[in-house]
Amino acid sequence: MSKYDMTGIGLNLREIPDDNGSLRLVVLGLILDGPAHSAGVRQGDELLSVNGIDIRGKSAFDVSSMLQGPKETFVTIKVKHDSCGPVESMKVQRQMAARTPIFYRLEKRDNENSSVGYIHIKEFNAVAKKDLVSALKRLQNSGASYFVLDLRDNLGGLVQAGIEIAKLFLNKGDTVIYTTGRDRQVQNTIVADSGPLVTTPVMVLVNNRTASASEIVASALHDNCKAVLVGERTFGKGLIQSVFELHDGSGIVVTVGKYVTPNHKDINGDGIEPDYRRLPDLNEARDYLSRCQSKKLS
């Protein structure tokens, strides 16, 4: 397994062998504003100890059980910043309750008379859909003419949360994503089962750290002509993986299938190319979506 979600303090860790063949645990990613991030842990840091116990050489499964615990209790960790930075010890409060990943505001662009509802989704967790619905309704009631959905640096999270969020923007019957694989149980077509909550134009901001569930949302809105994509080519993570625990307490991740976009594009290792590098104005976005819809119908 290449990464592990330490939900107790909001870390993703990667096992990296050192020159001696033993394992080092390096922070692959963090939940923004999560416990570890707020305490000062940064991407690329090496985890050295947990509660005074040296963890170098231990598996991520072992370290996971050491990091996790009842919410609002504390764990002391020691990290080495970057590859050659200082070593720091910090006390982190565990937080099992999902924090909102939604940040939003109403703003005006200099060259437009209309208001835009800007929404940043940091990750897809258990409360993402509920909080996004609330944000969309509040922004609509405040006069938002269209929306900018910011998925930059969103590495994913719960795939099902991403699928449910994509459905908020799609027409009933629109394809969200296809899943393919040799196992018939993996082969599936996921479609929207109700009408859209939002019918105004949407612009989705993406970059090279937009991955996994974020790419499912971006491709679903793009391929169904519900949004224009703006920014950089996305990361390209389209694998379906299952985790199996082994009898000795270790585990194995097996790739069992792939996600394929509504336009039947396999994005794994390739990503999604945006429509624009810079944010277009509202009329330009409307024209693009209109042409997209006409092409789709033809």
18-42: pLDDT as tens digits: 777 778 888 877 776 778 989 999 8
* Final residue of a structural domain among 61, 94, 127: 94
254, part of any domain: yes
Q: Tokens for 49? A: 């100890």
Q: How many residues does the chain have?
A: 298
68, part of any domain: yes
Q: Tokens for 121? A: 């989704």
- Order of strands, edge to edge, in the sheet holding 144-150? 102-108, 115-121, 144-150, 202-206, 227-231
211-265: pLDDT as tens digits: 999 999 999 999 999 999 999 999 999 998 777 777 887 888 888 889 999 999 9
165-209: pLDDT as tens digits: 999 999 999 999 999 988 887 789 999 999 999 999 999 999 999
Same domain (yes/no): 139, 216: yes
Same domain (yes/no): 133, 267: yes
Contact residues for 52 (Cβ-Cβ < 8 A; gap 6+): 76
Same domain (yes/no): 114, 23: no
- The residue behind tokens 């939604």 is 102
Neighbouring C-alpha atoms within 13 Å toward the C-beta of 171: 10
Same domain (yes/no): 150, 287: yes
Total tally of structural domains belonging to the chain: 2
Same domain (yes/no): 42, 138: no
Catalytic residue among 212, 214, 219, 226: 212
Predicted confidence (pLDDT) at residue 63 exceeds the cutoff of 50:
yes
Task: Give the pLDDT score at 158.
Answer: 80
* Final residue of a structural domain among 94, 110, 140: 94
pTM across the whole model:
0.69
Q: Which of 58-67, 81-90, 263-272, 283-292 has the least mean pLDDT?
A: 58-67
93-124: pLDDT as tens digits: 987 656 788 999 999 877 778 899 999 999 98
* Final residue of a structural domain among 72, 94, 116: 94
- The residue behind tokens 């134009």 is 201
Same domain (yes/no): 262, 137: yes
Same domain (yes/no): 155, 233: yes
The residue segments making up the domain with residue 129 are: 102-297
Same domain (yes/no): 53, 118: no
Task: Give the pLDDT score at 229.
Answer: 98
Q: Is 130 a catalytic residue?
A: no
Same domain (yes/no): 240, 208: yes
Same domain (yes/no): 284, 167: yes
Residue 244, CA distances (Å) to 91, 212, 254, 280 in order: 32, 20, 8, 46
- The residue behind tokens 């590098």 is 277
Same domain (yes/no): 107, 89: no
Helix axes 128-141, 159-167, angle to 10 degrees: 30
Q: Is 237 a catalytic residue?
A: yes
128 vs 57, which has greater pLDDT? 128
Same domain (yes/no): 140, 261: yes
Q: What is the mean pLDDT of the chain?
A: 88
